[in-house]
Structure 1
Amino acid sequence: MAKVGDDVVEQILIQLDAKDLNLYKPVCKSWRSLITSPRFVKRHLNLTYNKDRHNNKLGNRRVSVFKHSYFANPELVGSSNGLVCIGFSMTKLTVGNPLTREVRQLPHHPYIGVDVCWGFGYDSSRDDYKVIVGTRKGVDQTRFRMLSLKSNVWRDIEKMKYSRFSDVAGILCKGALHWIITNQDGRYFIASYDLALEEFKEIPLPGRYIGYNLGIMKECLCIFGYSYACDVWLMKKYNEKESWEPVKIWHDEMKYDTVHFLRFRLRKEDNASWFYRASEHLHLEWVAAPLFVESLVSPHDNASVEPQPRYQSIFLYLLKDYFEDFAIYGF
């Protein structure tokens, strides 16, 4: 039976930012239980999405990796519901939440060739997160494997007769991952992998496609180029060729995107944020960056494996494995 005032506490806490709620977990057992409950986490996630969506000053919130020329830089595989998937190679992948600092290392996927594409997203039909890796097999064939966080097991899903991917990281939109592909005849199209149906589809590009980039704008799949007057094609109705609409967007008409840069931190005692900084950008180069939402979602939710130790930094966790032969971290 709920205590008097419990509902009031929940109504107050649900309005707070994820980073503040993470600090309030140790206040008492009841608060920790509430803040980490699946119902609260999902409700808070929906509220946060709506806050960002109705923020007139914010274009989109995105995430990227701050690159260091003197380090072996990780790849950002993707982001979904506040979780980010990162790896130094596609055989060493990690999923973490930058705000709660929970980290989960995924099992190494079997090496079967040169990695040509990858992606990460949420399957709402199964309440599960999935990682996709495509590797070149033979001259012009790609073999795809998938791991779901619930199963924690890699499995083959499909082979494609194409291996020329214009985009390495899949763009997540409408529950599917997307890459621009070129076939042997020079025809461009979008390969879409539906995370719920677990199947590939071809999405036609507008007739005047000339090597543009794939991204997300106004919650629509888009292709775009770089110029002061930016030529952008928006797919107003998903997976309908006739819905591609050319839009000319001038920089002074664009909202600012807030880009959260994840950073390297090699000091175990460092308690600073995982984020190097958050910057506002008008440049269309960030339209291809994954969308990001600040959330309490845990990479261990509904997992079939025991949670691993929480690390201060997702990159420290990756580097520990990457430099496992060098005793430089004092673990």
Structure 2
Amino acid sequence: MADFVHEDMSELILIRSDVKDLIRCQSVCKSWYSLITSPRFINRHLNHSYNKDLFNNELGHRRIILLDDDDDHQLVGSSNGLVSAFSSKLLVGNPLTREVRHLNPPPWISLSLSWGFGYDSTTDDYKVIVGAWKGENQTCVQVLSLKSNVWRVIGEVKYIFVSEVGILFNDALHWIVRDENDKKLIISFDLSTNEFKEIPQPGDVRYECTSGSRLGIVKERLCIYRCEFSCVDIWLMKNYDVKQSWELLRHDHEMKYDIVHYLRTPPPPNDGSLFHPDKSWLRTLKYIDLHWDYIHAPLFVQSLVSPHVNVNH
């Protein structure tokens, strides 16, 4: 009897494969191509990638940064394996599948102060958020969804954004802002409701939010930290949006390895190739002691998610 692998067994095997291997597997046969490119498989593979990283006893987080510190290139954010960046154009792409999509640039780009990118599970859509200076202590906030590719003004807030890039956590983006009284606050933007709210900060006398403070993710928790000389004070919010749950991470804390993925810049003349990896694209940096340079970097997960998947035809 001829050897064969049942379709369900094939899916169980393929779903555990890396993206680069799955791309090659698409060429094996029509049935595998149909399976691997199906929305159901892509979602199951994404969930598997998340869980694989989450339960890895050696891995803390995957993060993604631009390879070069270039003011002409801005990393907007990362969500579900998609990465958004701005150079001469606003792009969203998957660095592993090499798919790239050009988005409409926001108005008043020269006045942009802050960015954000994330997934809205209620609409199965991805959103790019930009905050532009509107006047003294006022920022105009606009949102673009990948489905519409149209910018929409959702309102003005009486803050000046201190953070350049919003930290994605708990289905919301988070920034440090300065209010009209020059007080620094943490605010969140709910990607489903398009609403802002203030997040309580630590009430401990040892805590201080300064111009050098940044937000990030550590140990699957939202954190705020500041670095002065060689000392890093990291405050973790153990229960989201609960003021009393903030705690100071000990300096002798034990951390898992973080992996940093580098996105190559600047792009060649074909600006879409910002996301096209060369042999050195997946160069990683592993470290035990959490380096403050990377705490604020967007989290990254390996996936097959396409930037074109939600395009309305």
TM-score (norm: length of structure 1): 0.84
Shift of residue 276, structure 1, vs aligned partner:
5.4
| 1:162 and 2:159 aligned | yes
In structure 2, give the amino acid aligned to 1:78. Answer: G
Q: Are the counterparts in 1 of residues 114 and 130 from structure 2 also a CA contact under 8 Å?
A: yes
Larger displacement relative to structure 2 (165-174 or 178-187): 178-187
The DSSP-based 3-state class of the residue aligned with 1:30 is helix
Match of 1:241 in 2: 243
Q: Does 1:285 align with 2:284?
A: no
**Residue 81 to residue 273, structure 1, CA distance change in 2 (3 Å):** farther
> Cα distance, 1:112 vs. partner?
6.7
The count of residues paired between Structure 1 and Structure 2 equals 297
Tell me the SS of whatever aligns to 2:83: strand
1:294 matches 2:302: yes
- TM-score for both structures, normalised by structure 2: 0.88
Instruction: Tell me which residue corresponds to 2:49.
Output: 48
Q: Deviations over 1:79-136 (max 9, x none)?
A: 00000000116xx210000000000000122227611111000111111100000000
Contact 1:115 1:133 in 2 (8 A): yes
Gaps of 5+ in 2: none
Distance 1:101 1:112, change over 3 A: closer
- State the identity %: 53
Q: Secondary structure at the match of 1:47?
A: helix
- What aligned pairs does 1:255-294 form with structure 2 within 5 A after superposition? 255-264=256-265, 266=268, 272-273=278-279, 275=281, 277-281=283-287, 282-294=290-302
Superposition RMSD on alpha carbons, in Å?
2.2
- Show the 5 A alignment for 1:113-192: 114-163=111-160, 165-192=161-188
Q: Give the CA deviation at 1:231.
A: 2.0
Is 1:10 matched with 2:16?
no
Aligned pair in 2 of structure 1 residues 303, 229: CA closer, same or farther (>3 Å)?
same
Q: Is the 8 A contact 2:93 2:307 kept in 1?
A: yes
Given the alignment of the two structures, is residue 79 of structure 1 paired with residue 87 of structure 2, yes or no?
A: no
Q: Is the 8 A contact 1:113 1:136 kept in 2?
A: no
2:158/2:180 contact within 8 Å kept: no
Equivalent AA in structure 1 for residue 209 of structure 2: I
| Alpha-carbon distance in 1 for matches of 2:25, 2:14 | 9
Distance, in Å, in 2 between the alignment partners of 1:30 and 1:103 is 25
Which of 65, 87, 104 is matched with 1:107 structurally? 104
Question: Contact between 2:184 and 2:209, CA under 8 Å: does it hold in 1?
Answer: no
Which runs of at least 4 in structure 1 moved beyond 6 Å after TM superposition?
267-271
Q: Which runs of 5+ in 1 are unaligned?
A: 306-331
Distance 1:104 1:271 in 2: 16
Could you say if the C-alpha distance between residues 108 and 186 of structure 1 is closer, same or farther in structure 2, counting changes exceeding 3 Å? closer
Residue of structure 2 in register with 1:323 after alignment: none
Deviations 1:219-273 (A, max 9, x none): 111011236564211111111212212221437x222210000113538798735
